[in-house]
Structure 1
């Protein structure tokens, strides 16, 4: 059913004001009355004349209602510290100190009279970061032990001191930074050693003056320590008479400097004094050393009580604690006499390598990291099986003792034996032109060349017939056809055996059983 069409609505005048009476006006009813009431209300609110349309839908809509009153301020968001109690505890800690800038190189010494030594450079106030292992406080210097072990015994010809020409410009800033980027085993100390050799002991007046003269040109703590290490090699000799007579008396840094003689305790004491005058942190360490007269215990031997017969140093060098032995680095006892021979291996060894032949009374001075096996016990150290005999040239040719294979002194016959040697550092060259020919000499005089392997060293697999007995030696060719054999091709050497004049030196030796 369709809705009826309504006629146009007429204008309706505004209603008169309501009379002041209590008579209720009836509320209009019906659709038309409701529409009229809405229109009247609209006109009453807005009396402006508007054109009328045919449809009631054209009436202007009422204005939007006023906005609601503003709500109260929202609650404050809690801070991160209030939400996380652990963070509040962490934030309450005091901040770390600001980094200390790198200390400047020491100023040149002022001009003073000959009788008055120049003042020492001020100690740096910066403290390098220490390794995770805690180092104990400095220990008081103990009285000298009844016997001190001076030196590992080497069986080799006397070492000739190389002549090094000192270049004054060698210690440039560019060279210093390149040295810092390399490991200590690759560090070129030739300029440092040449500088240290310029101060003979008889020209030195005091320990303080010597410390300044040795270390003033160098900024690196490693170079300062190396200068002291090399000077001890050049100027202090081992006191053989006192050692073999058992008449070892206490010494001081001044008495060692005056006499030029010392056992291991004197070397370590003078090194400590020179290092401290130069602004280095150094400690003297006492313990056991596998040096002169040492022989490995046979298998099954009960563990002997711990003993002490040696002394060395622990030094902080450019943020890293290192162990050095200036006594073993200066020379060696050959029978009953002392031979001056520089052994830098006791300056560059890692704590794990150093600990193979040194056992400190205070275990804190082992400094062996967990990744290297951690600290060792006295039983592990003293009952370690006997290794092959290692000659001094093994160190001078920069080979690493810890990776020498076979690692035991005896080799069983009747099977294949693998020999390995490695340089002290992976950065060292293995090129033919930079090395010698290395070979194994079996008891039957068979010579087998070691060739470069994939692991970064030299190897050889050799069959040892059953019943073969005698010495097996590792050697390197020193001269070939009356020339230095460095850079000689192994195949050329092998094809020239018995045809060309040649000579070789021993590096290590085993027993075939």
Structure 2
């Protein structure tokens, strides 16, 4: 039921380079595809499931492998169905609204097109979603008379199923908040799409149920998927610890988008995060939970119905053991700590960091190759992001871990960033090394600053930046 964190660690403004955020000897909770990522202090992804009510969205039968099951939404719309063949069937005709009647609802939606001067790529990471994202802000929950009316208003301007699914995903971010009080007090009750719409509060199954209710009412094929999510409470197994029996903690969705593709999305994790320290909900639009490919999605989502992996690599499914252990191949290997807010904004792939594990052995010999790259080769920082890229640096210690730290600037070809560091120079056991963006250099915006310019400025000019990734030396 967890949410993804909302921000990277707080910016560090200094003339003497500060350390990255304090990292525990063992990252406590994880959500990312190499299983774990931690962000700002206090903003923790949630996994611990509340007691499942007697009648929740996951008990509607939408995540069962056998038979066909449907469930009515708050306005009678069908939430979804799933056939014994293993794949979601076409949306039942009974789920489609009477559009002639719905168009009589007020307010009327003016005729619109989907303007965009930007190229549309098959890769969702680089697609221009500004039109559906902006349109989603026009229908506050308090003024919505029914799920059917909302579905019609949201998808009316868009012919593309991908854009229709995206506008629903974005609307949930703007209008539904995570029910922190109920979650933290273990008082989560059964939720229907109508109830979620009325209250504006939900946990994961509420987000998933309302997404499918709106999507089905709009004519999209969609299902609620239940299973395990790597959120709070999940951590890599200790050496010798047995792999636990499969259990369920989370809910998400699958929806049919352009070209008949079944796409896995997580509107709960895409809407915001919770800070457990003060039990507050932090709204943040984490679009990667819509755009990431299904294989990366599956690194932290394991469906109870094994026909709902929908992997890009054409594998029918992975085992529970493989999922729990993660891509490192070791049950006790903790993944590198990535600060997702910075990574997402700058178009950095969270699954392509090297070294890929959080604990980094310290030895007298050898060289460590640090590397990361963009989410895809055609992601453009100006077209798709906030502007020209920042330079990236690594903070390391000297051979004995004492004295002043050293800042080294990453090389780049525009797609990949890399840096080789002698192992003995990283520091001593218990210390951390990290990658930072240089956001300001000498009091000026550092976007577009070249590698050479950054190297010349180090030690002569003050800088400020945000943490991108970190490792602990062991």
Whole-angstrom CA distance in 1 between matches of 2:237 and 2:408: 32
Aligned: 1:465 with 2:424: yes
Q: Using a 3 Å threshold, how does the CA distance of structure 1 residues 430 and 190 change in structure 2: closer, same or farther?
A: closer
TM-score, normalised by the number of residues in structure 2: 0.69
Q: Structure 2: how far apart are the matches of 1:449 and 1:260?
A: 46
Deviations 1:43-97 (A, max 9, x none): xxxxxxxxxxxxxxxxxxxxxxxxxxxxxxxxxxxxxxxxxxxxxxxxxxxxxxx
What is the aligned partner in structure 1 of residue 458 from structure 2? 497
Higher relative contact order (CA 8 A, sep 6+): 2
Give the alignment's Cα RMSD to 1 decimal.
2.5
Aligned to 2:224: 284
* 1:22-421 mapped onto 2 (5 Å cutoff): 135-136=87-88, 171-172=114-115, 178-179=119-120, 181-318=121-258, 319-335=260-276, 336-370=279-313, 375-384=317-326, 385-392=333-340, 393-414=342-363, 415-421=366-372
Alignment check: 8 A CA contact 1:453 1:459 kept: no
| Partners of 1:269 and 1:284 within 8 A in 2 | yes
The alpha-carbon distance between structure 1 residues 345 and 424, as it changes in their structure 2 partners (threshold 3 A), is: same
Structure 2 equivalent of residue 486 of structure 1:
447
Distance 2:234 2:349 in 1: 21
Aligned residues: 348
Retained in 1: the 8 A contact 2:86–2:308?
A: no
Kindly indicate which of the two structures has a greater share of residues assigned to helix: 1
Deviations along 1:233-279, one digit per CA (max 9) or x if unpaired, are: 11111000111111111111111011110000000000000101111
Greater radius of gyration (CA): 1
| Helix, strand or coil at the partner of 1:314 | strand
Selected match of 2:396 from 442, 460, 470: 442
Q: Deviations over 1:145-173 (max 9, x none)?
A: xxxxxxxxxxxxxxxxxxxxxxx98724x
**Uncovered stretches (5+) of structure 2, i.e. residues with no partner:** 1-84, 92-110, 327-332, 399-404
Indicate conservation of the 8 Å contact 2:307/2:316, yes or no: no
TM-score by length of 1: 0.64
Q: What do residues 427-451 of structure 1 show as CA deviations (whole Å, max 9, x unaligned)?
A: 1237997211112212442222221
Give the superposition deviation at 1:298. Answer: 2.0
CA shift for structure 1 position 136:
4.8
* 1:508 equivalent in alignment to 2:469: yes
Cα deviation, residue 480, structure 1: 2.3
